């Protein structure tokens, strides 16, 4: 039927309401309970008038074309002209195997699926893009890792996703999607639990406060902790955990989006997908803030220690978040596994979509639109070849890859960069970065979808918008050429007398601390009253430590290396606070980079 007002030119039957049967309704040529001003297919008439018994040209659906059944039978309504997919022999009930209780069928709707998928994507974002990035520095400290090793841990996720993507989206796309999704979330949960495992299998973390060993003339020998080499091999456990994260999250953003798209009305689909992606972006935000909070708790819970979170030896409770997220993922996978291959009522939404695609001269795109194409692995090379012949698609992929390079590097080492530039503790840096990513990432993603919708952009307009965003974020990147100077540190960046160090060599001994017998192994920086950092209280020549803390930090007295108007000065534990005035500028431009990078992601 030609219906000018129906969606995509098809007329859709409204779910009929038999609650108030009226004897006059059928005379008016409308099914019962249809509101005035709407035709039999639930769409307002083009001229806005109510449909009367006389069929007018605009009232194209005045006669009930849609076949309706008597109230007793199950309703199977569909208009002619829609390809009706038979669901015979297909189980549409929600449940596990034969166990399909009636109370569960309340959740067997597109909103139910959306809720569970949102929780799953939130957990994925929180774990992989939140917790991992906040705990990198703590894991490096606890397991004696170097930055390139922790970088490998972070990128194991992407390696796994890369390996699994083609197969999961290809076979899962033709298979039972909710089962693929459920098993994926389950694997992701196991990855999180595995990631927290090293905390329980290693010995206790011993952090010696500089008070016992650090002062000049004190006992300088440190009891040796475990050999460093044995701990750093735990990086393979972390890599395996991340690999499982990657395998598990692959179906979520490929099949999850497709499943939502197939089971909701065409014009609702972008809304559902936007909600799903927003949950995925709120995840990392929560990860940064919650992870930063956990880092203020000492890793060995319940042990009394005498060092503060500002101390360079401090390791926070990095593992709590992974335990919680792992358990939650295992729980959420159970309902997802119970969903049917397609939701009840989804047949109505299988409508032809307008193709704006790139047309090939040899007509091979027609082969791809054949419904049997892509059922076997033999069609995989052909599919890849078809995509390679599509230049717009390939260049968009490359653009996405370069954006992802930027995001991956910035999200992993962003907190670490802030930590070293502004002398922050790991927890402060993570929280700062969280405040930066939440509005910029979340706002950018939402704004991107809003702009496309608001200005009704088509293909070429969307590509121009993406280009504008990437150029803006490229210009803002140059802020990284401005950086804060190193904090002056005696014997490291300058000589003890204040002159520059020759040739950048470490020279930690000077006349003022020569008699102290300091060890280079005990790195525990203190900030002198002359605003210069010293390698340890011993290297500053301090002889006494005060029992009462100032601002929660230990204070050392009688420091022979710190000049203070002819009297020996004092020093405070921890790094000196950075007096760099460029911090707001740097944070603002980092905000701009993140905002524009995410702004182009939905378009």
- Alpha-carbon dihedral angle through residues 164, 165, 171, 176, given to the nearest 10 degrees: 100
Residue 214 is predicted with a pLDDT of 66
- Summarised one tens digit per residue, pLDDT across range 293-316 is 999 999 988 887 777 787 778 899
Residue 208 is predicted with a pLDDT of 60
- Summarised one tens digit per residue, pLDDT across range 234-249 is 999 999 999 999 999 9
Q: DSSP assignment of 381-450, as one string?
A: HHHHHHHHT-HHHHHHHHHHHHHHHHHHHHHHHHHHHHHHHTT--HHHHHHHHHHHHIIIIIHHHHHHHH
Number of H helices, E strands in the chain: 16, 5
**Would you say residue 152 lies in a domain?**
yes
Residue 374 is predicted with a pLDDT of 67
Strongest mean pLDDT among 29-43, 46-60, 335-349:
335-349
Last residue of a domain, one of 332, 357, 382: 357
Q: Which residues pair with 44 in a beta bridge?
A: 38
- Summarised one tens digit per residue, pLDDT across range 10-28 is 444 444 454 554 445 444 4
Measured distance CA(289)–CA(307) in Å, rounded = 23
Residue 75 is predicted with a pLDDT of 42
> By residue range, what is the domain housing residue 150?
93-203+233-357
Residue 42 is predicted with a pLDDT of 43
**Would you say residue 505 lies in a domain?**
yes
Measured distance CA(575)–CA(4) in Å, rounded = 71
Residues 440, 535, single domain; the answer is: no
* Residue 364: band (very low, low, confident or very high) from pLDDT cuts 50, 70, 90: low
Residue matched to tokens 């402060």: 428
Residues 534, 567, single domain; the answer is: yes
Kindly state the average pLDDT of the residues 108-113. 91
Residues 318, 275, single domain; the answer is: yes
Q: Which of 182, 190, 193, 321 is nearest to 252 (CA)?
A: 182
* Residue 416: band (very low, low, confident or very high) from pLDDT cuts 50, 70, 90: confident
Of the two residues 434 and 148, the one the predictor is more confident about is 148
**Would you say residue 9 lies in a domain?**
no
Measured distance CA(344)–CA(85) in Å, rounded = 12
Residues 415, 505, single domain; the answer is: no
Distance (Å) of CA 485 to CA 304, 420, 493, 535: 36, 11, 11, 18
Residues 479, 491, single domain; the answer is: no
**CATH number of domain containing 181:** 1.20.1250.20
**Would you say residue 74 lies in a domain?**
no
* Residue 76: band (very low, low, confident or very high) from pLDDT cuts 50, 70, 90: very low
Residue 40 is predicted with a pLDDT of 42
- Alpha-carbon dihedral angle through residues 408, 411, 414, 419, given to the nearest 10 degrees: -130
Residues 167, 257, single domain; the answer is: yes
CB 473 within 8 A of CB 410: no
Residues 322, 470, single domain; the answer is: no
Beta strands, E only, 423-530 = 526-528
Residues 403, 292, single domain; the answer is: no
Residues 395, 414, single domain; the answer is: yes
Residue 450 is predicted with a pLDDT of 82
pLDDT above 70: percentage of residues in the chain: 76
Strongest mean pLDDT among 68-82, 432-446, 497-511:
432-446
Exposed e or buried b per residue across 436-474, where buried means at least 16 C-beta atoms within 10 angstroms of its C-beta: bbbebbbbbbbebbebbeeeeeeeeebbebbeebbebbe
Residue 344 is predicted with a pLDDT of 84
**Would you say residue 221 lies in a domain?**
no
On the question of pLDDT at 34 being above 50, the answer is no
- Summarised one tens digit per residue, pLDDT across range 508-565 is 888 888 888 888 877 888 899 888 899 888 888 888 888 777 777 788 888 888 877 6
**Would you say residue 448 lies in a domain?**
yes
Residue 212 is predicted with a pLDDT of 53
Q: Kindly report the average pLDDT of the chain as a whole number.
A: 78
- Summarised one tens digit per residue, pLDDT across range 166-209 is 889 888 888 899 999 999 999 999 999 999 999 999 888 877 65
Residues 404, 428, single domain; the answer is: yes
The tokens describing 43, both together, are 């769409």
On the question of pLDDT at 55 being above 60, the answer is no
- Summarised one tens digit per residue, pLDDT across range 553-590 is 788 888 888 877 666 788 888 888 887 888 888 889 98
Kindly state the average pLDDT of the residues 69-87. 45
* Residue 219: band (very low, low, confident or very high) from pLDDT cuts 50, 70, 90: low
pLDDT above 90: percentage of residues in the chain: 26
Residue 406 is predicted with a pLDDT of 81
Residue 181 is predicted with a pLDDT of 96
Residue 50 is predicted with a pLDDT of 44
Residues 284, 394, single domain; the answer is: no
Residue 229 is predicted with a pLDDT of 52
* Residue 384: band (very low, low, confident or very high) from pLDDT cuts 50, 70, 90: confident
On the question of pLDDT at 164 being above 50, the answer is yes
- Summarised one tens digit per residue, pLDDT across range 423-474 is 888 888 888 888 888 788 878 887 888 888 788 888 889 889 999 999 998 8
Residues 248, 111, single domain; the answer is: yes
- Prediction pTM value: 0.69
Residue 306 is predicted with a pLDDT of 75
Measured distance CA(521)–CA(457) in Å, rounded = 61
DSSP character at residue 103: G
Kindly state the average pLDDT of the residues 364-387. 76
Residue 504 is predicted with a pLDDT of 66
Residue 560 is predicted with a pLDDT of 86
On the question of pLDDT at 256 being above 70, the answer is yes
Measured distance CA(579)–CA(490) in Å, rounded = 17
**Would you say residue 384 lies in a domain?**
no
Exposed e or buried b per residue across 506-521, where buried means at least 16 C-beta atoms within 10 angstroms of its C-beta: eebebebbeebebbee
**Would you say residue 563 lies in a domain?**
yes
Q: How many domains are there within the chain? A: 3
CB 122 within 8 A of CB 249: no
* Residue 373: band (very low, low, confident or very high) from pLDDT cuts 50, 70, 90: confident
């Amino acid at each position: 039927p030609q219906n000018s007002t129906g969606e995509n030119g098809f007329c859709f039957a409204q779910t009929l309401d038999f609650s108030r049967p009226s004897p006059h309704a059928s005379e008016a040529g409308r099914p019962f309970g249809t509101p005035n001003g709407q035709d039999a297919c639930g769409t307002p008439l083009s001229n806005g008038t109510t449909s009367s018994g006389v069929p007018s040209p605009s009232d194209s659906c005045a006669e009930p074309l849609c076949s309706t059944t008597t109230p007793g039978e199950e309703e199977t309504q569909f208009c002619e002209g829609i390809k009706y997919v038979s669901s015979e022999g297909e189980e549409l009930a929600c449940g596990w195997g034969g166990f399909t209780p009636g109370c569960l069928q309340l959740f067997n709707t597109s909103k139910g699926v959306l809720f569970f998928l949102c929780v799953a994507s939130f957990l994925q974002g929180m774990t992989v893009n939140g917790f991992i990035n906040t705990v990198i520095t703590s894991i490096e400290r606890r397991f004696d890792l170097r930055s390139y090793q922790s970088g490998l841990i972070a990128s194991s996720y992407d390696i796994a996703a890369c390996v699994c993507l083609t197969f999961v989206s290809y076979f899962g796309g033709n298979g039972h999607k909710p089962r693929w999704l459920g098993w994926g979330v389950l694997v992701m949960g196991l990855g999180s639990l595995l990631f927290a495992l090293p905390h329980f299998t290693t010995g206790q973390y011993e952090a010696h406060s500089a008070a016992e060993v650090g002062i000049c003339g004190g006992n300088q020998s440190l009891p040796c902790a475990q050999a460093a080499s044995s701990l750093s091999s735990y990086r393979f456990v972390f890599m395996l955990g991340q690999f499982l994260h990657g395998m598990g999250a692959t179906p979520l953003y490929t099949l999850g989006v497709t499943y939502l798209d197939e089971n909701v009305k065409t014009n609702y689909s972008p809304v559902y997908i936007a909600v799903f992606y927003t949950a995925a972006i709120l995840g990392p935000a929560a990860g940064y803030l919650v992870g930063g909070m956990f880092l203020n708790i000492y890793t060995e819970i319940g042990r009394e220690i005498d060092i503060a979170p500002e101390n360079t030896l401090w390791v926070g409770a990095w593992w709590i978040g992974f335990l919680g997220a792992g358990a939650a993922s295992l729980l959420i996978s159970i309902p997802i596994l119970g969903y049917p291959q397609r939701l009840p009522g989804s047949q109505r939404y299988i409508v032809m979509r307008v193709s704006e695609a790139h047309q090939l001269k040899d007509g091979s795109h027609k082969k791809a639109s054949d419904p049997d194409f892509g059922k076997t692995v033999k069609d995989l090379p052909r599919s890849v070849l078809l995509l390679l012949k599509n230049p717009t698609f390939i260049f968009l992929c490359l653009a996405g890859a370069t954006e992802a390079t930027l995001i991956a590097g910035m999200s992993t080492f962003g907190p670490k960069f802030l930590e070293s530039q502004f002398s922050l503790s790991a927890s402060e840096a993570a929280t700062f970065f969280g405040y930066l990513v939440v509005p910029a990432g979340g706002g950018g993603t939402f704004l991107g979808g809003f702009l496309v919708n608001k200005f009704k952009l088509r293909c070429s307009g969307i590509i121009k918008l993406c280009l504008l965003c990437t150029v803006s974020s490229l210009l803002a990147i140059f802020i990284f050429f401005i950086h804060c100077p190193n904090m002056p540190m005696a014997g490291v960046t300058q000589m003890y007398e204040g002159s520059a160090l020759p040739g950048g060599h470490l020279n930690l001994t000077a006349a003022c601390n020569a008699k102290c017998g300091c060890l280079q192994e005990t790195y525990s920086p203190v900030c002198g009253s002359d605003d210069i950092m010293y390698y340890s209280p011993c290297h500053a020549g301090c002889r006494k430590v005060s029992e009462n803390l100032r601002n929660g930090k230990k204070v050392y007295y009688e420091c022979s290396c710190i000049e203070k108007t002819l009297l020996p000065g004092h020093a405070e534990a921890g790094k000196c606070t950075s007096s760099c005035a460029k911090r707001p500028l740097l944070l603002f431009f980092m905000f701009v980079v993140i905002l524009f990078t995410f702004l182009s992601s939905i378009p």
